[in-house]
Amino acid sequence: MANEGPTADAFAILLAAHHPHLELIGVSTVHGNASLAQTTANAGSILTALGVHHIPYYAGAAKPFCREAVHAPNIHGDTGLDGTELLPKAHVGPVEGGNAVAAMREELLAQPAPWLVATGALTNVALLFAAFPEVGDHIRGLSIMGGAIGNGFTNAPMGHVRGEGERLGNHTPWAEFNIYCDPEAAQSIFSNPLVARKTTLIPLDLTHQVLATRAVQERLLHGPSVSVGKGASDVRQLFNELLLFFAHTYADVFGISNGPPLHDPLAVAVILSEGYEDLKFDDCKGERWDVNVVTDGIHSDDDHERGQVGRTVISPSKERGIGVRIPRGLNVELFWDTVEDCLRRVDERLSSRDNHKLSNDVSL
């Protein structure tokens, strides 16, 4: 998994590490919502909070292919995971002296049919396929959270920004943040025919259908059968506080007040639609798309200088089975069931660990 450490990434790691049909074999971090040093620290803290600090994680690319790094403190705060004091210090640091891209190659080729999940800027992933093209042939699939289609691709609310009106992107009027961060990296992936036909793209048009409403927030905090008011576990409180911070900023910036969308865990959940259970993603009976990323323009606050850089432009693939899969919908209720089940498994794991420690302390 290649991630950049904000709230939605925390939920993505939750699913990848605790769903019984998945095995998280490693994490690489990348520049994005915060600096590489901060996203790497965040990854270690989340792995520790989830009781899986044995999973190795690597610091990846600190900047895009050919641009300066950009961050988004207005959405996730200066740390990339603002809004809580419950985030633990990582029990284990990142792998020292390890090259993230080389480690990704080694770990992926060691698995019989691995999936690669990208939930941040695509620099690490693009470097992987450029340096080691054999990985593209070996992997079973690549899922990417990124991009925004618009133009009625789904009926999801795309958001409004004061003074700008409705928009496609969540960073500029045209671009979703992950793609905007390194558009050249994204284009190198989507223009690779071998990789593209194994790729599922999870755009804002899909993630904005999965809003963490107040009812969802209460359910994830207290569990499906626990009455409100009873104490929630530390890990549930942690994830709830991250959600509340994200909800406030998303409502304030984009005018989506029903609840924040959970972008990144959908890039993990889509793997479960590959025959494991009934968490189906609707791709309209096999729609496939050619995806091109606008690379003209610079990272800038000036609309004229920036243009539409980072915009994802799609057209129907000319050959069936060739091109990128872009689902238009999913079973939202079952997705939340899956998240809740993973939180339950974390509670059980941490409770068992604490009871074992207490038993050892008593025996001493």
Which residue numbers are catalytic? Answer: 263
- Residue 147: count of CB within 10 angstroms of its CB: 29
Amino acid identity for residue 71 in this structure: H
Q: Which of 104, 93, 95, 24 is nearest to 58 (CA)?
A: 95
- How do strand 115-118 and strand 27-29 relate by DSSP bridges? unpaired
Token pair for 178: 């992950």
Residue 102 buriedness (CB in 10 A; 0-12 / 13-18 / 19+):
middle
Structure tokens at 165: 């009106």
Cβ 60 vs Cβ 27: under 8 Å: no
Q: How many whole angstroms separate alpha carbon 58 and alpha carbon 101?
A: 9
Q: In the chain, where do the E strands start and end? A: 2-3, 27-29, 57-59, 115-118, 141-145, 160-161, 165-166, 199-202, 281-282, 289-293, 312-316, 329-330
Nearest to 111 by CA among 231, 24, 199, 238: 24
SS3 177: helix
Secondary structure tally for the chain: helices H, strands E: 15, 12
